[in-house]
Structure 1
Amino acid sequence: MQNVDYIIVGDGYAALFFAHQLTKNKKSFVIFSEGKKNASQISAGIINPVVLKKFTTFWLAQEQLDFLRTSLNEIENYTGENYLINASIHRIFHDENEQKLWLKKSKTEELLPFLNEDFKHLEVVKNDFNTGMVEQSARLNVQGFFDDLLKYHEDNYQLIKEKFDYNKLNVSDSTYGNFKFKNIIFCEGMNVENNPYFSDIQVIPNKGHHIRVKLSQPISEDITIKKKHFLFPLKDNLYFYGGTYDREQMHENIDDSAVEQLKNGLLEFYQNSFDVKEIHFGFRPTVKDRRPILGRHPQHKNLYVFNGLGARGILNGCYFSKSLYDFIENNIDLPEEISLDRFNKKDA
C-alpha cells in the first residue's frame, strides 16, 4: 500500500495548478490522467483581464494576473521553461463609437491598468478604425505547459496513466486500489457528470471549436488579434483562430456550422486566402454565475471538487488552486463566491 497526501483526478488546468501547490508545499500526490485531450489542453491559452465585448473587467482580475506570473516563475524552477508568451491582444474596433467607449473606459479606475489609450493600425488585416491594445494581456504556451508538466510528474512517479475507477474507491478507509490517501481532488471538467459523489454540481457544458489555418500572407508581429474570435501564430506557420461558444450542440462531433462561423469571422478582417488545416473542439465546464466551483463533499470530508473554470481556465485554475489548498491544509474558508456551498444556500 502506497501512502499519499493527495490523489488528483484529472489533467487540465485545475489539476496541474493544484499539483503545483502540492509540489511547492512538498506534499505527496498522484495524478490520474486518462490521456485524452481535454478542453484545457486544446484551449487558446489567452490571458486577458478584459471582457472585449463590452470593455469591462472581472472579479480579482489584477490579483489573478499577478498570481499567474508568480506561479509560472515557480513552475519554471522545476521544468526549466516559462510558458508565458508576452504577446498583447489587439482588439479591432468596429466603428468610432467603440473607439470612444474604449477611451472613456480607459480613464476609469478599474480599466486604467488594462486599456491602452494609444490606438494602433495593423498591417495585413482590415482594421479601418484601428485597434486597442490590452495591457498585461498575454498567452500561455498551452502545448508546452501540458507536455512538460505531465512529463515532469511522470518522471517523478506522480502520474498514473489510466482512467479513475470510482468502484475502486473505498471512502470509509480512504483507499483506492493500492493507494492510501488523505484527500482526493476531483478536477474532471465535464467528466464530473459521471462522478457518483459530485454529479449534481451545477456545471453546464459549453462546446468550443477552433481552427488552425495557414495564411497566404503571414502577419509579421507576434500579437493576438481579436474581432469576433482570437487569431495568433502557432508553430509550423499555422495560426490559431477561435473559439466558438455553443450550449446546444453537445454531440461528440465537429459542427460544420461552427466551422463556417469561424471561417466567416476570419474573413471579416483577414481578406487574403487561407487554408484550414485542423479543426478542434472541446467542452468547457461553465457555471451560471461565471465563478468556479470548489468545495468539500457534505458527507465524505476528504473528497473535494475543483471545477467550473469556464473560458478563463488558466487564471481561475491558477489563482483558486491556492484557495483550495489553504481551505484543506490551513482551514481558511473558501470565498463564498466560489464555494460549492453557495448553491445549497440558494436552494435552502
Structure 2
Amino acid sequence: MKNVDYIIVGDGYAALFFAHQLIQNDKSFVIFSEGRKSASQVSAGIINPVVLKKFTTFWLAQEQIDILKKSLDEIQSYTGKNYLIDTPIHRVFHDENEQKLWLKKSDNEDLSAFLDKEFQHLDGINNPFNTGKVNQSARLNVSDFFNDFFDYFKRNEQLISERFDYSQLNISESAYKDVSFKHIIFCEGMGVKDNPYFSDIAVIPNKGHHIRVKLSEAIQSNVTIKKKHFLFPVNNGLYFYGGTYDREQLHHHIDDSAVEQLIKGLSEVYPHDFEVSEINFGFRPTVRDRRPIVGHHSSHKNLYVINGLGARGILNGCYFSKSLYQFIEEGTPLPDEVSISRFK
C-alpha cells in the first residue's frame, strides 16, 4: 500500500497549480491523468486582467496576477524554466468611440494599472484606429508548461496514467486501490459530470474552437493582437487564432460554423492570405455567476473539488488552488463567492 497526503484527479490548470502547492509544501501526492488533451492543454494561455469587450476588470484581477507571477517563479526552481511569455495584449479599436471609452476607463482606480493611455499602431494588420495596450497582460507557454510538469511527475513517480475509477474508491478506508490518502482533490473540468460525488455541481460546458494558421506576410511578433479573437505566434512558424464561445453546439467534433467565424474574424484584422493548418476545440467548465466552485463534499469531508475556472483558467486555477490548499491545511476560510455551498 502506497501512502500519500493527496490524490489529484485531473490534468488541467487547477490540477497542476494545486500540485505546485503540494510540491512547495513538501506534501506527497499522486496525480491521475488519462493522457487526453484537456481544454487547458489546448488553451491560448492568455493572462489578461481586462474584459476586452467592455473595458472592465474583474474580481481579484491584480491579486491573481501577483500570485501567478510568484508561482511561476517558484515553479521555475524545480522545472528549470519560466513559462511567462511577456508579450502584452494590444486591443484593436473598432472606431474613435472605443478609443474615447478606453481613455475614460483608464482613469478608473481599478483599471488605471491595466489600460495604457498611449495608443500604438501595429504593422501588418488592419488597425486604422490604432490599438490599446493592456499592461500586466502576458501569455503562458502552454505546451512546455504541461510537458515539463508531466516529465517532473514521471521522474518523481507521482503520475498515474489511467482513468480514475470511482468504483474503486473506498471512502471509509481513505483508499483507492493500493493507494491510501488523507485528501483527494477532483479537478476534472467537464469530466466532473461523470463523478458520482460531485456530478451535481453547477458547471456548464462552453465549447471553444481555435485555429493555427500560416500567414503569408509577417506581423509584429512581440505582441498578442486582440480584436474579435486573439492572434499570436506559436511554434513552427504558425500563429494561434481563437477562441470561440458556444454553449449550444456541444458535440465532440469540429463545428464548421465556428471555423467559418474564425476565418472571417482573422480576415478582418489580417489583410493578407493565410492557410489554416490545424483546428482544435475543447470544453471550458463555466459557472453562471462567473466564479469557480471550490470546497469539500457535504458528507465526505476529505473529498474536495475545484472546478468552473472558465476562460480564465490560468489565473483562477493558480489563485484558487492556493486558497483550497490553505483551506485544507490551515483552516483558512474559502471566499463565500467561490464556496461550493453557495448553491445549496
Q: Shorter-chain TM-score: which interval? A: over 0.9
Distance (whole Å) between structure 2 residues aligned to residue 104 and residue 306 of structure 1: 37
1:69-102 deviation line (CA, Å, top 9, x unaligned): 0000000000000000000000000000000000
Structure 1, unmatched stretches of 5+, are: none
Note if 1:41 corresponds to 2:41.
yes
Q: Which amino acid aligns with 2:29?
A: F
Q: Counterpart in 1 of 2:176? A: 176
Q: Helix, strand or coil: the match of 2:152?
A: helix
Q: Counterpart in 2 of 1:339? A: 339
User: TM-score, with normalisation over the residues of structure 1?
Assistant: 0.98
8 Å CA contact 2:169, 2:175 repeated in 1? yes
Note if 1:27 corresponds to 2:27.
yes
Distance (whole Å) between structure 2 residues aligned to residue 172 and residue 232 of structure 1: 50
Q: Counterpart in 2 of 1:204? A: 204
Q: Counterpart in 2 of 1:185? A: 185
- Deviating more after overlay: 203-212 vs 324-333: 324-333
Percent identity, aligned pairs only, is 71
Q: Please list every run of at least 4 consecutive aligned residues from structure 1 whose deviation after the TM superposition is greater than 3 angstroms.
A: none
Q: Which amino acid aligns with 1:133?
A: K
Distance (whole Å) between structure 2 residues aligned to residue 221 and residue 256 of structure 1: 28
8 Å CA contact 2:221, 2:232 repeated in 1? no
Q: Counterpart in 2 of 1:302? A: 302
8 Å CA contact 2:221, 2:233 repeated in 1? no
Map residues 244-263 of structure 1 onto 2, 5 A cutoff. 244-263=244-263
Map residues 251-290 of structure 1 onto 2, 5 A cutoff. 251-290=251-290
Structure 2, unmatched stretches of 5+, are: none
Distance (whole Å) between structure 2 residues aligned to residue 218 and residue 289 of structure 1: 40
Distance (whole Å) between structure 2 residues aligned to residue 21 and residue 141 of structure 1: 20
Q: What is the deviation of 1:221?
A: 2.9
Distance (whole Å) between structure 1 residues aligned to residue 210 and residue 180 of structure 2: 41
Q: Helix, strand or coil: the match of 2:213?
A: strand
Distance (whole Å) between structure 2 residues aligned to residue 177 and residue 257 of structure 1: 45
1:110-148 deviation line (CA, Å, top 9, x unaligned): 110000000001111000100000000000000000000
Q: Counterpart in 2 of 1:95? A: 95
1:256-303 deviation line (CA, Å, top 9, x unaligned): 000000000000010100000000000000000000000000001110
Distance (whole Å) between structure 2 residues aligned to residue 330 and residue 88 of structure 1: 36
1:165-188 deviation line (CA, Å, top 9, x unaligned): 001100111100000100000000
Note if 1:79 corresponds to 2:68.
no
8 Å CA contact 2:122, 2:220 repeated in 1? no
Q: Helix, strand or coil: the match of 1:41?
A: helix
8 Å CA contact 2:39, 2:282 repeated in 1? yes
Q: What is the deviation of 1:220?
A: 3.2
| Root mean square deviation, CA, Å | 0.5
Distance (whole Å) between structure 2 residues aligned to residue 52 and residue 12 of structure 1: 25
Q: Which amino acid aligns with 1:135?
A: N
8 Å CA contact 2:116, 2:135 repeated in 1? yes
Q: Helix, strand or coil: the match of 2:277?
A: strand
Note if 1:122 corresponds to 2:117.
no
Distance (whole Å) between structure 1 residues aligned to residue 60 and residue 250 of structure 2: 31
Distance (whole Å) between structure 1 residues aligned to residue 301 and residue 89 of structure 2: 43
Q: Counterpart in 1 of 2:70? A: 70
Q: Counterpart in 2 of 1:153? A: 153
Q: What is the deviation of 1:312?
A: 0.1
Q: Helix, strand or coil: the match of 2:290?
A: coil
Q: Which amino acid aligns with 1:72?
A: L
